[in-house]
Structure 1
Amino acid sequence: MFITAPKGQLSSGSDVTKCPPHLNRGGNLIAFHNTCYDVVTYDPLTWEDARVRCQTNGGRLVEIAGITTLSFLTGYLSTLDNVGTGVWIGLDDKDQEGLWRWDSGPPLKSSHWGPEQPGGFTGWLDDCALMKLDGFWYDYQCDVFYQHFSYICQYDMLK
């Protein structure tokens, strides 16, 4: 089940005023379950560059802990016109092939991999996860010059 809504009419259920003040309120900033998400579509990057950009701003690439968050984010992405084919998420197996971990360290417990994923012909080269607009995850090369995608940074809400 995925949430869908007409463009611009998805309610996040949380107040973005509780997001860190340096984040752009005029962009694609949303809040859900005490977490702020910034969907960056204006500057597609490689996975590694997106990761660094999120960290520089005090966040991290998004970690999707369950179906509720997955459904919310997929629904929100469906309301955007310029997101492209998918977004980088904070999941990789760069340290050990086949052992997928979130960028903050915890191993992957539940997943939403697309058909025949992770893997494929170049699976051993594909160490970073991209979430397509249908919510399924695909492994891609992390730092290839021609693989620039939108991405989602995740931030803790202010107390």
Structure 2
Amino acid sequence: MEEIDVDVKQVSPKHATSHTAPSISERGSCTGVIVTLGLLSVFLLVSLIIVGVLYHNSVHDSAVELWAIQDNLTELLQASNDKLSSMTEERDLLSTNLNEITEERDLLNTNLTKMIEEIDLLNTNLTKMIEERDLLNTNLTKMTEDMQMLQSSSKKKKPCPAGWKMFSCSCYFLSEESGSWDEGRQDCRDRGADLMVIDSPEKQTFLSGFTKRPTWIGLNDRDDEGIWKWVDETPLTLTYWDTNQPDNGGGIPKFGEEDCVHTRPDENTAWNDLSCASSLPWVCERIP
């Protein structure tokens, strides 16, 4: 056992001696690795420098572009603001012009309305003047006829029949009996006369003193509702209607159509329309 231990101890130092000094090839390899690492470091440093330069240039270019975009946006915003201000001024000017035009239009409408009212008033006055002229012409014609009849009567000296009353140049008869408007007119015709025509204030005044009862006169609108005519076919120009008359029955069914006219002595002989079938006395008129 001891011999074996000795041998081992002797052998072990030899083995250790053989590995303490590296060989030449191993030293060359280490130097190559170091050189390679150094070159890689240099390349890496150069690459980092290049990347840094490029990044700096890129950031600078980007900043320049951003500044340029910002300037463009600022210019566009300013231009937009200027355009908006201009449009706002134009809008305000148009609004002012519109208000002025509206005021002028309203003024023109007001003036037009006044002109229309004045024209209507002139037309009304003209109508009244025409009616008055027609009435004057009618009265003149009637006066001429009365004068001619008076002259003729004075020459003939023919009196009214018995029971008749003379006024102006005509004779008038007041019936004692009553009947419809048609019955009264037929009675007058049978006497050579017709229902009385009132075409002058004097005849209206005469009638007021001649009869004290509601009495038929020769006025009706049978042919055309609202168009009143005398029995001698002359149109109505002089009127003495009672208040709110004529009313054609006022729309009350029991009164029916009121197409014939009678006087109301208790109302200053004012006129009233009544159903032609009503029963009243009548007054006739004829030339002597």
**TM bracket, shorter-chain basis:** 0.7 to 0.9
* Identity across matched positions, percent: 29
Contact 2:245/2:272, CA 8 A, preserved across alignment: yes
Q: Pick from 259, 266, 277: which aligns with 1:127? A: 259
* Structure ID, larger Rg: 2
Give the TM-score normalised by structure 1: 0.74
| Aligned residue in 2 for 1:18 | 159
CA RMSD of aligned residues (A): 2.1
Question: Quick check: which one's strand share is greater?
Answer: 1
| Aligned residue in 1 for 2:68 | none
| Aligned residue in 1 for 2:280 | 149
Q: 1:149: Cα distance to partner?
A: 0.8
Contact 1:93/1:99, CA 8 A, preserved across alignment: yes
Structure 2: tracts of 5 or more residues without a match:
1-152
Give the TM-score normalised by structure 2: 0.42
Q: 1:77: Cα distance to partner?
A: 2.0
Tell me how far apart the structure 1 counterparts of residues 263 and 217 of structure 2 sit (CA, whole Å).
7
Tell me how far apart the structure 2 counterparts of residues 34 and 124 of structure 1 sit (CA, whole Å).
38
Higher relative contact order (CA 8 A, sep 6+): 1
| Aligned residue in 2 for 1:39 | 174
Structure 1: tracts of 5 or more residues without a match:
1-13, 79-84
| Structure 1 stretches of at least 4 aligned residues deviating more than 4 Å after TM superposition | 14-17
**Aligned runs of 1:64-103 on 2, under 5 Å?**
64-78=198-212, 85-103=213-231
Tell me how far apart the structure 1 counterparts of residues 173 and 158 of structure 2 sit (CA, whole Å).
13
**Number of equivalenced pairs:** 128
**Aligned runs of 1:49-60 on 2, under 5 Å?**
49-60=183-194
Contact 2:172/2:285, CA 8 A, preserved across alignment: yes
